[in-house]
Amino acid sequence: MRESTNQSIKPVTTKVNEKGNLEIGGCDLVELAEKYGTPLYVLDEVTIRSICKDYKDAFSSYPKINMMYASKALCTLATSAILSKEGFGFDVVSAGEIYTVYKSGAPMEKVLFNGNNKSFDELNLALDLGVGRFSVDNFLELSLLNEIAKSKNKTADILLRITPGIECHTHEYIQTGHLDSKFGFDLTQIDEAVDLILNEYTNLKLHGLHAHIGSQIFETKVYHDEIEILVKELARLDEKFSLKLDEINIGGGLGVKYTEKDLPPSTFEIADVIIKSLNASIEKYKIDPPTLFIEPGRSIISTAGVTLYTIGSSKQVPKGKKYIAVDGGMADNPRPSMYRAEYFAQIANKPETAAAEDVTIAGRYCESGDVLIDNIKLPLIEEGDILCVFNTGAYNYSMASNYNRVQKPQMVLVNNSQSDIIVMRETLEDLISHDVVPDRLKY
């Protein structure tokens, strides 16, 4: 089976250049750090396009396929524009993601609005901007969306998100398909929802079912099980309601390789399982082939990203760890402190120097748990060295905060030896721009 880009720790253009520094997208990482400052998010455009091609090639044998990028992984104007030009639609979960995709110029009919507690304002915006699908999560949303659509004399095209009762072996915080989940209709609630849509909520048009089973998935059988449940439900609903639904959305969730011990399947492996399972279920339950939606997020963007830090102070604990501090940490990458996510890193200005000591990479924030990498073997480190942490394209910038009132980093896109700013570094003025001092407190 062919390998795919999500199975690499580093961006596909990574190499050591003639100066002995790490290079990505034809750009020297040490020079990028000098030019733009650190912390710095760096995205490799070739890697993004490479995984998009992997997905398109892997699923090319199934004729009715909609590729939807899960925007929560990383949502910017530039990344949305790239993915749109690669033919992807977008799975969005907020007004901010909807508006970003809209302003990027992406066609809104290829956007699906997902989420378990969409607000009136968000649903209103989505209808006004022409979002193509709503993945409806609960009974309240059914009623609210119908009411808003009716007030605009529109019909909202929807999928029902269901909880299939499948647990994948991933961190409990990123499991979404098991029965005890905040997401989706329980299987026992589907008939009631369908009855309401057919007989009462006449401004909603149901096209199919949506399920999502989790994130950072390394198993493939879970996709087989999910598809079996969805197709069986399509057949059952047709038999009970004479309702021929023609779309299923199986979510995303394919894992990536953060460290050498991670062994995610390739896009080609999961495509093989998904397409074979879908064709078998179609034959078994005697339905017409539905349009298949998939929603990769992490596996599209994570490998393309690295984060650069400048190394500062160090501390050797007597008979204990040696801590190396960098100028970022849990505010620009909260994943290690949230669920013990692990990363691989190199010193960008001496990537070929032999590893000499075990160190722990600590952040600069006022929390004992602000540790980016616990125990990694690196060359002897000096103040001012540039640390490159790999596979930070997903859920780093999108989950970043201003903890300790620190500005969020800049982001640059690299390609063909050119670097372009796609997210500006926040300024001190940005930090206070939304603060308001009541008149009674002013001097």
pLDDT at 167: 58
Q: What is the pTM of this model?
A: 0.94
What is the token pair recorded at 303? 């490998």
Domain boundaries of the chain, sorted by first residue: 5-43+305-431, 45-301
Residue (of 53, 27, 52) closest to 40 by Cα position:
27
pLDDT value of residue 170: 45
CA 90 to chain centre: 11
Give residue-wise pLDDT tens across range 341-386.
999 999 999 999 999 999 999 999 999 999 999 999 999 999 999 9
pLDDT tens sequence across 20-30: 999 999 999 99
pLDDT number for residue 181: 62
Tokens standing for residue 30: 């040490």
Beta strands in 283-398 (DSSP E): 291-294, 305-316, 322-326, 345-347, 357-362, 371-378, 386-390
The pLDDT value recorded for residue 173 is 34
Strand partners, 136: 160
Tens digit of pLDDT at every position of the chain (443 positions): 799 999 999 999 999 999 999 999 999 999 999 999 999 999 999 999 999 999 999 999 999 999 999 999 999 999 999 999 999 999 999 999 999 999 999 999 999 999 999 999 999 999 999 999 999 999 999 999 999 999 999 999 999 999 987 654 443 433 344 455 677 899 999 999 999 999 999 999 999 999 998 889 998 999 999 999 999 999 999 999 999 999 999 999 999 999 999 999 999 999 999 999 999 999 999 999 999 999 999 999 999 999 999 999 999 999 899 999 999 999 999 999 998 999 999 999 999 999 999 999 999 999 999 999 999 999 999 999 999 999 999 999 999 999 999 999 999 999 999 999 999 999 999 999 999 999 999 98
What is the C-alpha to C-alpha distance for residues 132 and 82, in angstroms, rounded to an integer? 20
And the tokens for 323? 């801590």
What pLDDT, on the 0 to 100 scale, is given for residue 177?
42
Show which residues are catalytic.
366
For the stretch 388-409, pLDDT in tens is 999 999 999 999 999 999 999 9
Could you name the CATH architecture of 45-301? Answer: Alpha-Beta Barrel (3.20)
Q: Identify the sign of the CA torsion 171, 173, 176, 178.
A: positive
Gyration radius (Cα) of the chain, Å: 23
Top-level class of domain 5-43+305-431: mainly beta
Is omega for the bond preceding 289 within 30 degrees of 0, making it cis? no
Distance CA 333, CA 255 (A): 18
Would you state the structure tokens that stand for residue 148, as one six-digit string? 């808003």
pLDDT of residue 169: 46
List, in sequence order, the alpha helices (H) in 112-266: 120-128, 139-151, 190-199, 221-241
- Are the CB atoms for 267 and 6 separated by under 8 Å? yes
Task: Give the pLDDT of residue 171.
Answer: 36
Asked if 179 contacts 165 with a C-beta cutoff of 8 angstroms, the reply is: yes
User: Quick one: how far is CA 44 from the chain centroid?
Assistant: 16
Which helix (H) or strand (E) element contains residue 85? helix 77-85
